[in-house]
Structure 1
Amino acid sequence: MNPKLYSYEFYLTASEVNAQREMPLSRLVTTLIDTATGHANIIGIGFDRMIREGISWVLSRLTIDIDAPVTVNRTYRMETWIESVSRLFSERGFEMTDAETGHTVMRAHSTWMAVNMTTRRPGDLTPIFEGLDVISDRRYAGDKGGKLLPSHTPERESTYRFAVSDIDVNRHVTTRRYIDLIVDMWPLDYYDTMRPSRFELAFKHEARYDEEAVVIAASHEGSPEVNDVEIRVNSTSCCLARLRFTARD
């Protein structure tokens, strides 16, 4: 086994797709997280090891480029590798291909940090990676994106109160729920003619059970195809996102 590259193959069933018969954005990100988790477990930096150190992995930043729709009843192969590690952050790349054709359908770049489970402050990754030869020379081929900023002139707004099913093992709101709230800012018929082709996400603050979130969205610099989204709790920004849409063929 090559510890510097992890590969996972899966079949996309009808129970996992949306109204357009494609993998939802939140399911795609969940698959990225699951693939990263599988790799981390194999090389000895997974959940059990982190908990022994009193820390836990937390996704900090994510950029996804979707080159082609990920459609139902097809098999896909997801690959992941670690690009860099510092005391506070680790960068990880992803690439997903159609297993039958070999064509790349998605690329992603992610930044992870460790959080101390007691203090909720950043943890030190140095002892976790000590002695491990797991850093790959492979690099994410796309644009990692720039700084995301909150919108001061929202065009759409909604509210949501986080429930039990929205809470993860770290007892804060799941990445999946944040992304679903972002996606739901546009009506169903919009997705019939447009599809997400690029998604950027940056986490700023934890949201928790029974807190009420405000979701606001606005076009980015006047472009109807690119939109900025912010999720706030008590006027505190929890996450920022940028979503680019592309017209369907």
Structure 2
Amino acid sequence: MKNMDKIGKYEFLAEPFHCDFSGRLFMGHLGNHMLNAADFHSSARGFGMKYLMTIKRSWVLSRLAIEMEEMPQQYTKFNVETWVESAMRFFTSRNFAVTGADDGKVYGYGRSIWAMIDTETRQPTDIFSIDNGAINDWIVSDKDCPIDKGGRVKMSDGAELIRTIDTFYNDVDINGHINSVKYIEHVLDLWDLDWYRTHAIKRFEIAYVAEAHAGDKLSFYQEHTAENEFCVRIVRTDGTECCRSKVTFIKIS
């Protein structure tokens, strides 16, 4: 294991049924590939979900930002590279690069922040307690990830309630709460097909605040914060804010 590269590279295919009407990969599926790459990378190096579940621990995604020059087209093979940029007691930063498998073309980058939780108490737990802080052996601090880290998504009280949806079986992940990627899909569904015919997603970021579970209703509050920039707040049944998202679009011809 010590001879393994600190940076993981995993090949994926833009399967046609994972692409939208324009023939390009859905942002939600790209997010899912990034999370899979994170799991492949951490599992091979001894601090992945498969091992953590045996000691009642789990990784939980706290923040994700994805910024793309373009999305891979259907049938395109592409790589997701991932590496740990830094680690603190309760949070770790992990970056991503999306490149062409054959030509090395750079499609875009991602940044994420993860917490490790105790699966029984649902509280954050010490990352360095795993294998005597072995995650420190895998930190790569000198590889560039040239996109903004992002910050707190700021919204006013004037955000408009756009939609309220129910949640079901397919929304729930291995941790028992609403899947991180499902939030991405639900947010991006707030715009119709006509919008996406003339706009592409340049940057998507989301910050997770509290868990929601199957049966919760999710209410989506939207605010137009700049030209082609929108912020979304998601609130569960009891009024608790679950997450905030910011989406930046670019106009396409």
Same fold (TM over 0.5): yes
How far, CA to CA, are the matches of 1:182 and 1:151 in structure 2?
A: 18
The one-letter code sitting in structure 2 at the alignment partner of 1:159 is T
Single out whichever of 127-136 and 99-108 deviates more from structure 2: 127-136
- Deviation, structure 1 residue 18: 1.1
Q: How does 1:181-200 map to 2 (within 5 A)?
A: 181-200=186-205
Single out whichever of 105-114 and 68-77 deviates more from structure 2: 68-77
Instruction: Name the counterpart of 1:105.
Output: 107
The one-letter code sitting in structure 1 at the alignment partner of 2:128 is T
How far, CA to CA, are the matches of 2:64 and 2:151 in structure 1?
A: 11
How far, CA to CA, are the matches of 1:9 and 1:206 in structure 2?
A: 31
> Which residue of 113, 133, 147 maps to 1:142?
147
SS class of match (1:33): helix
Q: Are positions 1:232 and 2:235 aligned together?
A: yes
Instruction: Name the counterpart of 2:8.
Output: 6
> Which residue of 30, 33, 41 maps to 2:32?
30
How far, CA to CA, are the matches of 1:75 and 1:179 in structure 2?
A: 23
Q: Are positions 1:47 and 2:52 aligned together?
A: no
The change in CA–CA distance for 1:151 and 1:22 in structure 2 (over 3 A counts) is farther
Q: Give yes or no for contact 2:155–2:223 (8 Å, CA) kept in 1.
A: no
Q: After superposition, what is the alpha-carbon deviation per residue over 1:19-52, rounded to whole angstroms, capped at 9, x for unaligned?
A: 1211111111101000000001100001122123
Instruction: Name the counterpart of 1:179.
Output: 184
Q: Are positions 1:247 and 2:251 aligned together?
A: yes
Q: How does 1:203-214 map to 2 (within 5 A)?
A: 203-214=208-219
How far, CA to CA, are the matches of 2:251 and 2:8 in structure 1?
A: 33
How far, CA to CA, are the matches of 1:33 and 1:129 in structure 2?
A: 22
The one-letter code sitting in structure 1 at the alignment partner of 2:249 is F
How far, CA to CA, are the matches of 2:131 and 2:98 in structure 1?
A: 26
Instruction: Name the counterpart of 2:69.
Output: 67
How far, CA to CA, are the matches of 2:192 and 2:72 in structure 1?
A: 20
Percent identity for Structure 1 against Structure 2: 28
RMSD, aligned CA: 1.4
Structure 2 portions without partners, runs of 5+: none
Question: Aligned residue pairs: how many?
Answer: 247
- Deviation, structure 1 residue 129: 5.3
Q: After superposition, what is the alpha-carbon deviation per residue over 1:49-104, rounded to whole angstroms, capped at 9, x for unaligned?
A: 21233210000011111111221121111100001111100100100112233221
- Deviation, structure 1 residue 139: 3.8
Query: TM-score under structure 1 normalisation?
Result: 0.95
How far, CA to CA, are the matches of 1:129 and 1:26 in structure 2?
A: 33
- Deviation, structure 1 residue 156: 5.2
Q: Are positions 1:94 and 2:92 aligned together?
A: no
Q: Give yes or no for contact 1:156–1:218 (8 Å, CA) kept in 2.
A: no
SS class of match (2:138): coil
The one-letter code sitting in structure 1 at the alignment partner of 2:222 is A
Single out whichever of 61-70 and 198-207 deviates more from structure 2: 61-70
- Deviation, structure 1 residue 248: 1.8
Q: Give yes or no for contact 2:204–2:248 (8 Å, CA) kept in 1.
A: yes
Q: Are positions 1:123 and 2:125 aligned together?
A: yes
Q: Give yes or no for contact 1:151–1:228 (8 Å, CA) kept in 2.
A: no
How far, CA to CA, are the matches of 1:136 and 1:22 in structure 2?
A: 31
The one-letter code sitting in structure 1 at the alignment partner of 2:186 is L
Q: Give yes or no for contact 1:93–1:139 (8 Å, CA) kept in 2.
A: no
